[in-house]
């Protein structure tokens, strides 16, 4: 099967998420890194793209140059990844979708709900794929959890509790580090800091595993480092459309917590826990029964959990291969086989509606508010 051409915007040398995209996209041989505008500094971006093997005429100084250079090539990119800071996602994603490219956009997809709705409409109109990188949803044991809920293994879900709380922005003396600062600067990050950065992964995960959507929420935000305009800690209570009760804590000042992303789902006949720091295991307890450790790669798992695991039982697979699972499903979708579970622009829009609702709720003292995007009400 011919390889697909892949282009990347952002994710330059030293960036946080760039390496995971390159490892993920290239892991299964579906894609070749054919083009890139990798850095906000044109020369640095060109040089790094060439160092990664991109031909000189496709190592671009910025994304507008890349769009102009790629759009009429016979071998143009089959997929473009947008891995720049949040405030740039909308214009880049929109421009590439409108030019007929498939796009994988980093989260949060946009910074406003209106922009999110526009992306959903453009993706619908052009028929191009617009996926959003909720990569944690592609871990095999997360797919097992989703399949267990779908198959009724824990009964109706009563309660979901999720945390994405780390301590890596907890050092006040590092608050001016440019790679930290933009996340709390409304001009670069939008209306929300930590909730839009990490909280939406947790919220997406709750929806993804419970196979349900967030309907309303109540939020409490705090900026615990005084120089920060946007919140670095948030507690969000929510309800899903089928009545499931949701609790979410997200923080970047929880010193001692490392990655700090976990989820517990409690149903009428059982419950389970998954954590990104032990992603190979799902800890499952049937009501009245013993707690079991379900292990990636063991017999008897649901199909999607089997499909998305490549290495043998007990071998760690980890974050880049979860990202690779997103790229595998994108490659299938580009070749015409749509896979259930690939996070789409609709998920990106729902997150953005939740972010804006949480900001408004926090300002209103935690008032409960409708968290659905107007387009989906
Ligand atoms: P970063 O600050 O570490 O790196 C940003 C990179 O983008 C740098 O290489 C910078 O030079 C480049 N860049 C900035 N503006 C650009 C432009 N206009 N054109 C081309 N390149 C440009 O940021 P990080 O942490 O890698 O985050 C990037 C995006 O990825 C954010 O939207 C963030 O929310 C998301 N992210 C997602 C994660 C996930 O788990 N899905 C994890 C970490 C980040």
pLDDT in tens, 319-350: 999 999 999 999 999 999 999 999 999 999 99
What does the pLDDT read at residue 1?
84
User: Is 83 touching ligand 1 by the criterion CB < 6 Å?
Assistant: yes
Per the CB < 8 A criterion, the answer to whether 167 and 250 are in contact is: no
Taking the CA of residue 319 as reference, the ligand 1 atom at the shortest distance is: 40
User: Is 40 touching ligand 1 by the criterion CB < 6 Å?
Assistant: yes
pLDDT in tens, 272-325: 999 999 999 999 999 999 999 999 999 999 999 999 999 999 999 899 999 999
* Cross-sheet strand order for the sheet of 245-251: 292-295, 281-286, 270-275, 261-267, 157-165, 245-251, 233-240, 214-222, 369-370
The pLDDT > 90 percentage for the chain reads 95
pTM over 0.95: yes
Mean of pLDDT over the chain? 97
Alpha-carbon torsion 321, 327, 333, 338, what sign?
A: positive
Q: Whose CA is nearest to atom 11 of ligand 1?
A: 39
- Residue 10 CA to ligand 1 centre (angstroms): 6
What is the mean predicted confidence (pLDDT) over 8-12?
98
What does the pLDDT read at residue 178?
87
In whole angstroms, how far apart are CA 222 and each of 192, 197, 279, 297?
A: 11, 15, 29, 41
- Residue 11 CA to ligand 1 centre (angstroms): 5
pLDDT at 250 over 90: yes
Q: Are strands 4-10 and 79-83 parallel, antiparallel or unpaired?
A: parallel
The pLDDT > 70 percentage for the chain reads 100
Q: Is 57 or 1 the better-scoring residue by pLDDT? A: 57
Per the CB < 8 A criterion, the answer to whether 259 and 215 are in contact is: no
What is the mean predicted confidence (pLDDT) over 209-222?
98
- Residue 43 CA to ligand 1 centre (angstroms): 17
What does the pLDDT read at residue 189?
86
User: Is 231 touching ligand 1 by the criterion CB < 6 Å?
Assistant: no
């Amino acid at each position: 099967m011919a390889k697909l051409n892949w282009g990347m915007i952002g994710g330059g040398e030293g960036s946080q998420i760039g390496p995971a995209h390159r490892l993920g996209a290239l892991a299964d041989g579906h894609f070749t890194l054919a083009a890139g505008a990798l850095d906000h500094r044109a020369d640095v971006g060109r040089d790094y793209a060439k160092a990664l093997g991109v031909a000189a005429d496709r190592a671009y100084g910025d994304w507008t140059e890349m769009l102009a250079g790629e759009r009429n090539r016979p071998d143009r990119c089959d997929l473009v990844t947008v891995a720049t800071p949040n405030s740039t996602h909308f214009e880049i994603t929109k421009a590439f979708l409108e030019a007929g490219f498939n796009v994988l956009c980093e989260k949060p997809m946009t910074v406003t709900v209106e922009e999110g709705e526009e992306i959903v409409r453009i993706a619908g109109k052009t028929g191009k794929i617009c996926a959003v990188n909720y990569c944690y949803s592609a871990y095999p044991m997360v797919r097992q959890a989703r399949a267990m809920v779908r198959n009724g293994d824990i009964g109706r879900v009563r309660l979901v509790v999720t945390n994405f709380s780390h301590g890596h922005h907890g050092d006040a003396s590092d608050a001016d580090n440019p790679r930290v600062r933009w996340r709390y600067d409304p001009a670069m990050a939008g209306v929300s800091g930590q909730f839009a950065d990490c909280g939406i992964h947790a919220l997406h995960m709750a929806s993804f595993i419970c196979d349900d959507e967030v309907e309303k929420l109540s939020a409490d935000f705090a900026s615990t480092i005084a120089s920060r305009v946007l919140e670095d800690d948030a507690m969000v209570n929510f309800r899903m459309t089928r009545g499931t009760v949701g609790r979410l804590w997200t923080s970047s000042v929880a010193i001692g917590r490392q990655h700090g992303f976990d989820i517990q789902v409690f149903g009428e006949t059982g419950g389970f826990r998954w954590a990104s720091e032990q992603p190979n295991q799902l800890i499952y307890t049937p009501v009245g029964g013993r707690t079991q450790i379900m292990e990636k790669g063991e017999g008897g798992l649901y199909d999607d959990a089997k499909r998305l695991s490549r290495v043998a039982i007990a071998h760690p697979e980890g974050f880049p291969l979860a990202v690779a699972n997103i790229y595998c499903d994108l490659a299938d979708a580009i070749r015409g086989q749509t896979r259930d579970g690939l996070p789409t622009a609709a998920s990106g829009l729902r997150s953005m509606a939740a972010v804006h609702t949480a900001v408004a709720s926090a300002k209103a003292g935690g008032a409960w508010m409708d968290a659905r995007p107007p387009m989906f009400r």
